[in-house]
Amino acid sequence: MKLIKILLAFSFILLTLVGCKDRPKESRSEQIKTEAKTPFTVRFDADSAYQYVQEQVDFGPRVPGSAAHGNTARYLEEKLAQFCDTAFTQYGSMKGSKGQNVAINNIIGSFGPKKPKRILLCAHWDTRPMADQDAKNPTTPADGANDGASGVGVLLEVARQLQVQQPDAGVDIIFFDAEDMGDSRGEATTWCLGSQYWAKTPHKPNYAARFGILLDMVGAENATFAIEGNSWLFAQPYVNQVWQTANSLGYSKHFVYNQGGQLIDDHLYINKIRGIPTLDIIHYEPSGSGFGDFWHTHDDNMSGISKSTLKAVGETVYKVVMDL
């Protein structure tokens, strides 16, 4: 009888110890739950992007060879160096529309430079040497707030956010020079000199990216971005991805499913020469020039820049990058 009591007491102690041993497992699983990653949220500060546009315009028209051009180049490289893992300027030279040598300053910043999966984001940063669509002063340059500075401003803010919330993919941001020096009555190759130079001699030998996004004139109030023809021809799956992302974020009034024209822009040479499927997010209006009344006139100034449009484009591009 005493032996039975001892065995019963031992069994009770054993069961108690087993029960105690199980409890930490329950509390540990609760701890794992509380440490789960928070959902991804899109971050983009339109005020910051607007300020970056303003700071470019404050230097003056960024015509290649001018003091304003040189000062802006230093500013842009410093900004990319502040945000990116690496940043530098690619120097080169191309023949201009009048046979002159045009110095090229392509400004490049990279996140995760060793990551094999990459996306290319780009915009041009120069200003056209003359506002040749302006009735009053067609021979002097405009500020180029929208045509040039807006795309750069958006990408600088994207870079600032990518520094905080690193993407899984590697990202290369390129600000192309000498895009807007072309002869409107001449050859297509007189335009987009910086992107032509880079496409032929990329900053890394055999450079490749999954796809690219070009931003051009992305700051006007109530701007609409139709599906540009060469983007659809070369990068249709990525056009769908970008437009679907924009619509999911509530920007359907900007990213419309209308067909735009086939444009000569930096993405054309990235597609044709480098073979990277690249799309163009560019302001498009079916009437007039197709680009809005500000295009290549002195009305292309800060009064025409909308923070809400910068935000629509910036949030869309940022989410596409983070979703890769």
> Per DSSP, what are the bridge partners of residue 173?
109, 121
**What pLDDT digit, counting tens, does each position of 180-193 carry?**
999 988 899 999 99
Of the pLDDT bands very low, low, confident and very high (cuts 50, 70, 90), residue 19 is: very low
Give which of 154, 320, 118 is closest to 238, Cα–Cα: 320
Q: Write the DSSP string, 235-292.
A: HHHHHHHHHHHHHHTT-TTTEEEEE-----SHHHHIIIII---EEEEE---SSTTSS-
Q: List, in sequence order, the alpha helices (H) in 165-259.
A: 193-200, 229-248
Q: Report yes or no on 28 lying in a domain.
A: no
- Rounded mean pLDDT of 50-61? 98
> Per DSSP, what are the bridge partners of residue 89?
107
- C-alpha radius of gyration, the chain, whole number: 26
Strand order across the beta sheet in which 86-95 lies: 86-95, 101-111, 170-176, 118-124, 211-216, 278-282
Per the structure, the complete domain to which residue 141 belongs is given by 46-323
Q: Report yes or no on 32 lying in a domain.
A: no
Q: Report yes or no on 243 lying in a domain.
A: yes
Q: Report yes or no on 13 lying in a domain.
A: no
**What pLDDT digit, counting tens, does each position of 101-124 carry?**
999 999 999 999 999 999 999 999
Q: Report yes or no on 248 lying in a domain.
A: yes
Residue 248 vs residues 2, 10, 144, 253, 257: alpha-carbon distances, Å: 76, 64, 31, 12, 14
Residues 268, 104: contact at Cβ < 8 Å?
no
Q: Report yes or no on 226 lying in a domain.
A: yes
Q: How many domains does the chain have?
A: 1
**What pLDDT digit, counting tens, does each position of 209-231 carry?**
999 999 999 999 999 999 999 99
Q: Report yes or no on 20 lying in a domain.
A: no
Instruction: List the CATH number of the domain containing 303.
Output: 3.40.630.10
- Please report how many Cα atoms fall inside a 13 Å half-sphere around the Cα of residue 174, on the Cβ side: 29
Tokens standing for residue 181: 């020096």
